[in-house]
Every structure is written in C-alpha cells, then in structure tokens.
Amino acid sequence: MINTACCLDCPDVCDIEVNGDKISHSSTHPTSNGTLCSLLNREFSKAQQIKKARVDGVEVSLDEALLESFKLLSLPKKLLWRGSGNMGVMSEITNLLFSKIGGTLTKGSLCDGAGDAGIIAGRGVNRLLPYESIEKAEVVVVWGKNISVTASHLMPYLEGKKLVVIDPIKTKIASNADLFIQIKPRSDIYLAILLARFVMIAGDEDKEFLKKFAPSYEEYYEFTRTFRIKAPLEHIGIDLDVIGHLLVFLQNPKVVHIVGNGVQKYSIGAEVLRAIDALAVVCGHFGKVGCGVSFMGNSRLGFINPFEVKLPKVSKVATPFEKFDVVLVQNGNPVASMPNSSRVKESLQKTKLIYFGVYENETSQMADIVIPASNFLQKNDVRLSYANHDVKIVHKAMESDSSLSEYEFCHAMFKTFGLDGLLDEQYYIDFWLNQTQKIEGKLYSPTKNDCPYSDGFGEEGDEDFEFMDDFDDDFLDIKALRKARKQLKSSSDEELWLITVKSKHSLNTQFKRDHRVFIHPSFGFNESQKVKLSNEWGEAIFEVSLDSTMREDSVLVYNSAFGVNNLTPDSISNEGESACYGDVKVKIEGL
C-alpha cells in the first residue's frame, strides 16, 4: 500500500492510500469522514488516459513523438501554455526547459488572479486563513463560493455557525443559510461598499483596531459616501431590510468571510475583493482568532521556487498563439477552458501544437503531436494547497510505461537538445520539502500562521491596510466594445447573465461533462428542450434543465459544459490580468 495525496485542482489536498489499482481515503486525513469524494472515487477512476503518442494523427512510439517534439521545439518562437490539471509543484519543471531553449511563458490567470491582486493591493500580501480560524468563527459570510461542491472538506467547519450566503444561485449551502441574498450577478462590490458605509454611519466600526491598523478609514468612509443608497440597492436587487438583517450578523465579534471565485470573474474582480476586505477591516474582523477573509491563497508564499525563470511572458487569457512557431500545451485544455473559444481555435490553427496531457480533449484533438502524460498516481511530486498550509509528499503509486512525467519529458528533451543543467528528480523534490516546517510529524509551508495579520498588514506585518479610493467599472466600456462588435457581426440583443460554475462530476474540463443550461421555468421552455445561447462572441447548443430557484435575469451553465466558452469574452480584468468569464450576457432561442 502506498500513501500519497490527491493532486487534482481542488483545495482539499486529501491524503489517499493506493493498493494496486484501488484508491481509498487515508484514515489519517483530519477532515476525512472515511470516504473518497466522488470525483476521485468515480470520475477519476473511470477516466481513460491517453495510451499512445500521436504525430499528425498517427500513433507512434513515445521516442518518435519526442523526436518530433524536439524538431518543433527547435523552431525559433516557442510558447509554453500550462494549465492546472495537476497541482503538483513538479509540473513547473518545464520552465527549466523553456529557459534553456529560449521560449516564452504566460502571465495572468484563468482562475483567481483578479481576487489575488485586490487582496495584495489592500493587505500587501495574500495570506491563507487556516481552517482552524474558520472553525472558531461564530458567523460565516460566504460570497460566491459553492462550498459543498468545490471544497467539500470545508463543510464541517460551517457547522453550528450563523451562515449568510451571497450568491445569484441558490446553492446547497444557500438552502441551509440563516440569510440568503440571491444577489444580482456582478454587484457584490456595491453591497460591500454599502455595508461598510452603514457600519460607519451607525458608529459600529472598530475604532481601536482601525486607528492601529487602518488609520485612513475616515477617507474610506468619504469614498463610500460617493455612492448613493437607493440606486445601488436597486442595482443589487435588495431592499434596506436585508441590509439591516445582514448588519446584525456583522455586529458579532467573530465573523469570517469566505470568498469564492464567483465574485471576481469580472473586470472589477480585484476591487470586489478589496471592498470585502475593507468591510471586514472596518468591522475589526481581521488578525484575530475566528475572524478574517478567506480566499484562494498563494500556496507558494514563503518558498524559494527552483522553477522560477526569467522569460518573456504573454497573456494567459488572450494568448496570441499565432505569434509563435510552436506551442506546448501542458496540463490544460485551453481550447475549452480559455474564454472566447473561437478565437483560441483560430489562433492555434496558425501554429504547430504539441499537447502534453493525460486525457483526450478539445486541445488534444487539434494537436500536431500528442504526448501522453502520467497522472498524479504515476509520478513523484510535492503538493501544496491554495486553502491551507499543508504540504503533502506525492509518492509514485503505479508504474506507467506508456506515459511520461514532466520530469521524464524534460529529461528526454535536455538529452536530445544536448543540454546540461537538469539535476536529479529527487533534488527538486527535496528542494521543496527542505523548506517546509515539520510539526507533530506533518509538513507545513514556511508561512504557516495560525492568526494571519495579527501584527498588521504588509510582508513584515508593519504596514497599514490600504483602502481603495477609486474604482473604474469599465463594464460600460465592455458594452461599447460589444456594440461595436455587434454592428460588425449583426448579432441580436443579449439579455441574460451567463453564470458559469464548477460541477460536482467534473474538475474543470476533466471527467463528466454535459450540455445543460439551467433556467427559470417562466421562459416557457420545456425540460430537455434544445436551445441556442448566443452573443457576439459565438454560440452553443444546450439542453434545458428547468430550475425554479434560478433568477429570471440569468442562466447557469457548468464551466465543463461543451461549448460554454464560445460565449465568454477574452477581456482582461482591471487588475491581476485575469479572465472575466462573468462579464457577459446571452440571448436564448428555442430550437
């Protein structure tokens, strides 16, 4: 039996045991209820790995595919586009290859980049809030995070707490909340700003805390006053009673805000996080046990990364693939996961494409060369979490002679190119492990901190919290852009917000995918009816799933659904160079 850890793109980082080809949840995992999540248990176990390398659609040996890859990677302009299919740190070793052969990397994010940028602007550094601190809270406010689906091991920490859920979708946690605000998409920033203003109008701000850690709060109050009350309330779609109700929860001394990706997939995503942080700061809900704002954190904080290289970078959101002779896609499925799929496809068609991945997908189908990658059970690695400070050793639990680990791929390429400088695999693994802290037999990141920001903000804890003093909601500009495009493409009017979220049976575009669109019955469509969603970015066909809990101004499609990113814009957030999947409306037509 081999003890290892799950490397899927999930915050939980479960310990698992592998016996032959049987995977089970490790009994030592602290939040385990003894069962494996259905993603790993069912979907991962069922998924068919790519078994054979291909060149121009013809199956070849791994050696032949590597030789052809060497030829393509010898071309002058080469790009490495890496996704997040496997979260082990060794995934990044391909940076060393690109550094040697002179390539380009990507910058920005399809995931949490906007929120992260907003947090850094306010707090100076994005530190993780440990689960233990969430456990000690009395009130938990969840903004746009579907915890029971996307971070199920956080669920026990919500038990016994007053729960407020702010989400346009009635998620499972929303159904059990003490207060559920079914907010209009993209309006959290106005709610957070209004709440901070009301807290200060009532004189309920934590003056002692603010004087010490955020002395410019009076200026922030002036900033919040520049927003009128009635118009934002109408915009959010709630009335003053709801604000009153929410303010009572915020009066509790122990409040944790748990913020998901949902609130920040917008051009103003960074500012949303800044406004939520500012609300928590105004209430004094920071740097104390049972308080804080939890978002996706930087798991590499405090580590020296041996794979950090200095290379030119292009946007990960609107990547100009056509500018390169060859693109290596590793660990991702950009054709389906990036916004504006039709642009992505067009752009990729103009270059040579090497796909290095575990499964067949839209990107492997377009590739000139396909190299099967080993999955996380078939290689050694180190796994960090973007939700807590745990560090896990990933032990190879299965052999595979039909696929390559990232290290093996790099090793083969270094050899063919006649390069030196790649050290042993164990050297890099130890490089990460040697930086961890060992506490009671478990490994933790060097920045493990039971009560982040208790000394103050900034890298050293000696800085003040920086409030936002302006923000530029360029949605209107996006509208203008749309209008211009619309005239060009003579597309029809868009009406409904397109909300895209994670599904229980898929991990982004891995595993079980579907064609469903969830919509309120009032539109008059029938269950399972085929409909077309369209806008100026493109169109896709979906199957109706009626849901009376939906808002009537929105439709919901899983981010794993086929064709969903035909409909999303490749605009880039104001801060953080992140994708704005939520900045979009669609028109729906029955077929």
- Give me the residues that bind ligand SF4 (CB under 6 A), please: 6, 8, 10, 12-14, 36-37, 39-40, 152
Closest separation in Å from C-beta 484 to ligand MGD: 23
Report what 12 binds from Mo ion, ligand SF4, ligand MGD, none; CB cut-off 5-8 Å by kind.
Answer: ligand SF4
Q: Is 394 in the site for ligand MGD (CB under 6 A)?
A: no
Closest separation in Å from C-beta 36 to ligand SF4: 6
Q: Which of residues 522-581 bind ligand MGD (CB under 6 A)?
A: 559, 564-565, 568, 581
3-class state of residue 6 by DSSP: coil
Q: Which of residues 233-272 bind ligand MGD (CB under 6 A)?
A: 260-263, 265
Alpha-carbon dihedral angle through residues 313, 297, 500, 363, given to the nearest 10 degrees: 40
Listed residue (333, 418, 427) closest to 380, CA to CA:
427
CB 81 within 8 A of CB 355: no
Q: How far is CA 529 from CA 515, 519, 526, 544, 551, in A?
A: 11, 11, 5, 5, 19
Tally of CB atoms within 10 A around 558: 23
> Applying CB under 6 A, which of residues 54, 502, 551, 585 lies at the interface with ligand MGD?
502
Kindly report the backbone phi and psi dihedral angles of residue 587, in degrees, each rounded to the nearest multiple of 5, phi listed first.
Answer: -105, 145
Report what 146 binds from Mo ion, ligand SF4, ligand MGD, none; CB cut-off 5-8 Å by kind.
Answer: ligand MGD
Closest separation in Å from C-beta 303 to ligand SF4: 20
Q: How far is CA 75 from CA 291, 352, 534, 586, in A?
A: 53, 10, 39, 41
Report what 263 binds from Mo ion, ligand SF4, ligand MGD, none; CB cut-off 5-8 Å by kind.
Answer: ligand MGD
Place of tokens 């200095």: 310
Report what 14 binds from ligand SF4, Mo ion, ligand MGD, none; CB cut-off 5-8 Å by kind.
Answer: ligand SF4
Q: Is 168 in the site for ligand MGD (CB under 6 A)?
A: yes
> Applying CB under 6 A, which of residues 78, 186, 254, 383 lies at the interface with ligand MGD?
186
Q: Which CB atom, from 331 or from 351, has the smaller least distance to Mo ion?
A: 331
Binding mask 319-358 for ligand MGD (x = CB under 6 A): -----------xxxxx--x------------------xxx
Q: Is 295 in the site for ligand MGD (CB under 6 A)?
A: no
DSSP structure class, residue 393: E
Q: Is 445 in the site for ligand MGD (CB under 6 A)?
A: no
Closest separation in Å from C-beta 84 to ligand SF4: 13
Report what 13 binds from ligand MGD, Mo ion, ligand SF4, none; CB cut-off 5-8 Å by kind.
Answer: ligand SF4
Closest separation in Å from C-beta 269 to Mo ion: 13
Q: Which of residues 65-124 bind ligand MGD (CB under 6 A)?
A: 83-86, 110-111
3-class state of residue 143 by DSSP: strand
* Site size toward ligand MGD, by CB under 6 A: 60
3-class state of residue 9 by DSSP: coil
Q: How far is CA 373 from CA 198, 309, 379, 461, in A?
A: 54, 23, 10, 42
> Applying CB under 6 A, which of residues 4, 126, 146, 574 lies at the interface with ligand MGD?
146
CA 520, CA 496: separation in Å to the nearest integer? 11
Per the document, the length of the chain is 591
Report what 6 binds from Mo ion, ligand SF4, ligand MGD, none; CB cut-off 5-8 Å by kind.
Answer: ligand SF4
CA 80, CA 38: separation in Å to the nearest integer? 32
Report what 113 binds from Mo ion, ligand MGD, ligand SF4, none; CB cut-off 5-8 Å by kind.
Answer: none
Listed residue (331, 449, 385, 382) closest to 151, CA to CA:
385
CB 473 within 8 A of CB 565: no
Report what 80 binds from ligand MGD, ligand SF4, Mo ion, none; CB cut-off 5-8 Å by kind.
Answer: none
Q: How far is CA 556 from CA 142, 148, 185, 533, 545, in A?
A: 19, 17, 11, 11, 10
Closest separation in Å from C-beta 564 to ligand MGD: 5
CA 410, CA 413: separation in Å to the nearest integer? 5
DSSP structure class, residue 451: S
Written as six digits, the tokens of 198 are 């009301």
Q: Which CB atom, from 184 or from 502, has the smaller least distance to ligand SF4?
A: 502
Report what 171 binds from ligand MGD, ligand SF4, Mo ion, none; CB cut-off 5-8 Å by kind.
Answer: ligand MGD
Q: Which CB atom, from 13 or from 451, has the smaller least distance to Mo ion?
A: 13
DSSP structure class, residue 28: T
Q: Is 111 in the site for Mo ion (CB under 5 A)?
A: yes
Q: How far is CA 163 from CA 10, 19, 141, 271, 392, in A?
A: 23, 40, 6, 24, 31
User: Which residues contact Mo ion by CB under 5 A?
Assistant: 111
User: Which residues contact ligand MGD by CB under 6 A?
Assistant: 9-10, 39, 83-86, 110-111, 143-146, 149-150, 166-169, 171, 183, 185-186, 188, 260-263, 265, 330-334, 337, 356-359, 361, 373, 375-376, 499-504, 506-510, 559, 564-565, 568, 581-582
